[in-house]
Amino acid sequence: MRDAYIVTSIRTPGCKRGKGAFKDTLPEDLLAFILDAAVRQTPGLEKKDVEDIMIGCAFPEAEQGLNIGRICAQIAGFPDSTSGATVNRFCSSGLEAIALSALRIMAGWSDVVIGGGVESMTFVPMGGNMPRPHPVYTREHADLYASMGITAENVARRYDISRQAQDEFACHSQMKAAGAREKGRFTEIVPTPATSYVIQPDGTMKRETFVQDFDDGIRPETTIEALSKLRPVFAANGSVTAGNSSQTTDGAAATVLMSKDKVEELGLEPVARLRLYTTVGVKADEMGVGPRYAIPRLLDMAGLTIDDIGLWEINEAFASQALYCIRELGLEKYMDRINVNGGAIALGHPLGCTGAKLCATLLANMRAKGVKYGVESMCIGGGMGAAALFELCE
């Protein structure tokens, strides 16, 4: 089986749902822009060379519907010959899209594929516009449709993750992200056009465009004391708050993958190889434990241990589940390798985009630090976990 090489991996900023810089920017525009940028940042690559585009989206409806993977390829100026698909594995959709893209190359079906993700939680809310749980099945398995916040409360309660530990973890995430932004470490971000509608003196609205070049959900003023005063949002006597949960966010990301033959033809220096990807199922009502089971399976497949991994991106859907997974995996001794630029609590979790977003972040940090192996992992709504192993090219 052939290797799948990553030559470019980039993202837009992540911006707050409903209040951030992308609140008036259509998801199609975010995705079309980052797809175009991915080609522009890959020397010698032309859009006609891209055979397929796989795009993760957790709620592919409304503005994100009608196969946004294909539609945005057309908006971005790819030729009719470039096909496109939309992939949904909820929180791992973007990573799933990259993995499927890699598989096409590894199987010899394609030589150039783009995998990515998009989510506008402003335009399409969590749960979608018209959720319709099965009327009979929900009587026996309501947990499958449970709020993600309730599953986070379940993890905190069942596995003894204290409110104080969650708030401390959340504050640390904010501080790491604030420091990384100040020091210009988010090198994977591409400044992105954003739309704004501005009311005019005569009462009409004018469409304006500006460029957004930073994640706007970071709160450098965060303190543990302030977090401790926030009320629980999912259970009256709970410990999960808005401050120790991931932010709902808008964003897009794209990764260009190639076969070795194509890399050599274009004279490129690849960034990394996607070595392995795996998923596991867990109980739906504690879906946050997913990485605790996906990561060991991944490492067993690779013949590696946690000591071999130089950097980790473990999605911070909630502080409670991230802390549980870190503790159970024995990763507490490697906290300086985990989410080194902050995680979703500070940077946001744009659902279907997150897997692709974290890929871009992980690879940028692996290059900066010269780390051979990096792992990306996340929990997934409905009761799953996913993990991928990347190897830096020398």
- The residues annotated as belonging to the active site are 91, 349, 379
- Which among 42, 35, 101 is positioned nearest to 71, based on CA atoms? 35
CA separation for the pair 12, 249 (Å, rounded): 11
- Helix, strand, coil in percent for the chain, rounding step 5: 40, 25, 40
Helix, strand, or coil (residue 207):
strand
Answer for the pair 316, 344: CB distance below 8 angstroms, yes or no.
yes
End-to-end CA distance of the chain: 20
- In order, the DSSP letters of 240-289 are --STTBPPPEEEEEEEEEE-HHHHHHHT----EEEEEEEEEE--GGGGGG
Q: What is the dihedral of CA 175, 92, 37, 85, to 10 degrees?
A: -170
Three-class SS state of 110 = coil
